[in-house]
Chains A and B, each alone.
Chain A
């Protein structure tokens, strides 16, 4: 049981520089990996590739030896950095959560999501409150792997701690694989079993930041 990237390379156009080149990565269920890189070095791109949001230019993503399924609920779920963009502004939050399946009261309670919030629109909640919904939505889909792209970067430390506490508990309980993209080394120390620092793992050269 593993999520693998083999010779993963990506660029937006063939005239443009590589954003990710020959990246190899392997994460087993139950492993927790922290990914570091300076800004603009393809952390989010890597996260999107691994979750199937982008198609790799070269190389492949394998889940247990097979490509990611194209239909149905994806077993690799990505949580994005900006929760307000990841929910439909015209949907009430109950509907946002129900998009990934049946509401889990237990999980809502663990995240401190109050019942009254469910009947509100996204505009009426703060970023931290919204991010809890996005994380809950990803967890409720029953995914085996969770990719967190700087999910708590914009939150205060208390909210960060709350959210990560619940995420780690769920990840342990369900024996999920976790990839956390972050700038924060202290956070990585607390949550990850191993770390990957993007530039050193490249076999090629880094693309110029502003070509």
Chain B
């Protein structure tokens, strides 16, 4: 990868991400339930050509189950981080452009939400919303906006004090015009990088909460559920149900994280030419 420059690397990563996402989605939808339903004749088989990830205690093929699980996980991650990033953008702009009272209230709220450990807060919200997909989505979306909102608030405050914004006002431009044409072009890179970097967090939290039993129901093939089930068999020497799906999750997360970092350095004018 050394000989490639950042733009090419980013393009490759983006294409890779696209392939992985659509592949996972497509497989998640296309793989019929019957394939995942296994038979006890083939239970607890280590990885082989017929079953690259092996089979679990109920004889289900773990590769298929992992792919189906990732499809659920990426849906959760995408929706939750998307909603969270939009909340962050709106809250950040509101805090920076609103009254001093509003800024104080929003900053206090951000401190409050950041002060409580995420996992506990998601468990509480998910539990209060009746668990399942809905509870998990609301829980993750409601907890991940804080640091991005704070970043955007700071950015807007700094931009509003720029001389070119004052000049624009004296050239007869309204506040709305200035927000759209002067501020948003500076905020969008922050927004997209924040969104992409939020996705791994969301997906890991989804897995963690499901693993702990407060998220998705056990019959859904989510990664967290697979990992949670595999715990019972680890001591019996069944390493593959934990290791291989876990590694797949880590790979996906690393890919998205890397994409976010490449985006960040491209959008940042001081490192864009490196």
A binding-site residues for B, Cβ under 8 Å: 51-53, 71-74, 77-78, 80, 82, 85-91, 99-100, 123, 137, 141
Contact = CB atoms under 8 A, between A and B. Distances in A.
Indicate the member of A53, A74, A87, A99 with the most B CB atoms within 10 Å: A99
A72 B172 contact: yes
30 contacts: A52-B170, A53-B166, A53-B170, A71-B172, A71-B174, A72-B172, A73-B170, A73-B171, A73-B172, A74-B172, A77-B170, A78-B167, A78-B170, A80-B163, A82-B163, A85-B163, A86-B163, A86-B167, A87-B164, A88-B162, A88-B164, A88-B182, A88-B185, A89-B269, A90-B185, A90-B186, A91-B185, A99-B168, A100-B171, A123-B269
B173 interface: yes
A85 B170 contact: no
Interface string B143-179: 0000000000000000000111011101111100000
A53 B165 CA distance: 11
Contacts of B168: 99
B214 to A, nearest CB: 44
Contacts of B172: 71-74
A52 B182 CA distance: 20
Size category, B interface: 10 to 19
Nearest to B173: A99
Interface of B: 162-164, 166-168, 170-174, 182, 185-186, 269
A173 B167 CA distance: 24
Nearest to B185: A90
A46 to B, nearest CB: 16
Contacts, number: 42
A87 B164 CA distance: 5
A51 B168 CA distance: 13
Contacts of B162: 85, 88
A90 B182 CA distance: 9
A123 B170 CA distance: 23
Contacts of A53: 166, 170
A171 B173 CA distance: 24
Nearest to A123: B269
Contacts of A85: 162-164
Given A71-B174, A73-B172, A86-B163, 19 more contacts: A52-B170, A53-B166, A53-B170, A71-B172, A73-B170, A73-B171, A77-B170, A78-B167, A78-B170, A85-B163, A85-B164, A86-B167, A87-B164, A88-B185, A89-B269, A99-B168, A99-B171, A123-B269, A137-B171
Nearest to A90: B185
Contacts of B174: 71
Contacts of A90: 185-186
A74 B162 CA distance: 18
Contact of A51 (B164, B170, B186): B170
A137 B173 CA distance: 14
B165 to A, nearest CB: 8
Contacts of A91: 185
